[in-house]
Amino acid sequence: MKRWIAFWNILRKDMRTYYLKPPNVSWGIIFPLAWTGMFFIKSGSGLGSIPTLLPGVVAVSILFGTTSMLAVTVTFEKKNRSFERLLLAPIPLELLMLAKTAGAILFGVANAFVPVAMAAGLADLSTVAWTAFVPAVVLISVASTFLGLFIAVAVSEVFEAQTFSNFFRFPMIFLCGLFFPVAKLPVFLQPLSYVLPLTYGADALHGAVHGGNAMPILNDLAILALFCLLLFSVSLRHIQRRWIL
């Protein structure tokens, strides 16, 4: 019970001090709006293109929302040593880091539903398979957050966290099949797509929204879950090695 009191309070503090601040809330609304608008204008095929654009916009909203927030907040707390206060709490490191990442995961999920809400006003989403869509959104959010954690433990300055996040994020927009299929990429780039977690998340979202998946959705979700486990355990090992010297 005591551990869960700590867990809940870390999550609540992060939500209050970082994620629910006006700049982040406005980011969560403006960013998906800008991406949707950009691709909507670019496609030139009217409202009918919304279902095919939606998975990409959802995925990119989650990716950008979670990785930057977590990488920056953790690096910031590490830099001003308030993170030491968390490391001194009598709770297991795994639970501590889950508490620290839970806020970013929820922020990512909330970001995902901003473009969904906008799309619902413009297109018919009745054919969306929500039972696949929601788990895909959650898993993409978890994987992106853990990617942010992985970045946070690899750097020591806030600006490095930003730079390092962009190093991962921008290639993922083009390599992961968000807005055009992986199969259309040059052959030499395709293997790279399959080592990136967002490829599987985007594929599951395409499958859930308009049936345009290249792999079975269950496989996508399972591989995404494996990426989550891998990123979390590698990050924990790095924390133990680099932060508990």
Partner 1 sequence: MNEAIRVDNLAKRFAAVEAVAGISFTVRRGELFGFLGPNGAGKTTTINMLIGLARPDAGTIRIGGIDCGANPRAAQHLIGVVPDDSNLYPELTGFENLCFCAALHGLDKRERQSRAKELLHYFGLAEAGGRKFGGYSKGMKRKLTIAAGIIHQPEILFLDEPTTGIDVASARHLRQLIASLNRAGTTIFLTTHYIEEAERLCHRIAFIVAGRIVRTDAVADLLQPLQGRHRVQIACGAAPEPLRQELPAAFPELEFAFPEPGLIRVAAAGPVRVGPLVRFLEDHGAEVAEARRLQPSLEDVFVQVTGIETDQMRREKERKGGAP
Residue ranges that bind partner 1, judged by CB under 8 A: 1-3, 5-6, 8-10, 13, 17, 80-82, 84-91, 93, 244-245
Helix (H) or strand (E) holding 152: helix 130-154
Q: How far is the CB of 20 from partner 1 (least distance, A)?
A: 12
Nearest residue (CB) to partner 1, 15 versus 120: 15
Nearest residue (CB) to partner 1, 60 versus 99: 99
**Token pair of 226, please?**
């494996």
Nearest residue (CB) to partner 1, 84 versus 157: 84
Q: How far is the CB of 31 from partner 1 (least distance, A)?
A: 23
Q: How far is the CB of 213 from partner 1 (least distance, A)?
A: 43
Nearest residue (CB) to partner 1, 91 versus 204: 91
Q: At what angle do helices 130-154 and 197-210 cross, to 10 degrees?
A: 160
Cα distances (Å, whole numbers) of residue 163 to 67, 151, 152, 170 = 11, 10, 11, 11
CB 56 within 8 A of CB 178: yes
Q: How far is the CB of 100 from partner 1 (least distance, A)?
A: 12
Nearest residue (CB) to partner 1, 3 versus 210: 3
Nearest residue (CB) to partner 1, 96 versus 114: 96
Q: How far is the CB of 237 from partner 1 (least distance, A)?
A: 13
**Token pair of 9, please?**
């309070």
DSSP 157: S
DSSP 127: T
Cα 163 to chain centroid distance, Å, stands at 17
Q: How far is the CB of 202 from partner 1 (least distance, A)?
A: 35
For 131, residues 6+ apart whose C-beta sits below 8 A from its C-beta are none
User: Of 175, 208, 178, 205, nearest to 39 (Cα)?
Assistant: 178
To the nearest 10°, report the CA torsion of 126, 120, 55, 68.
Answer: -140
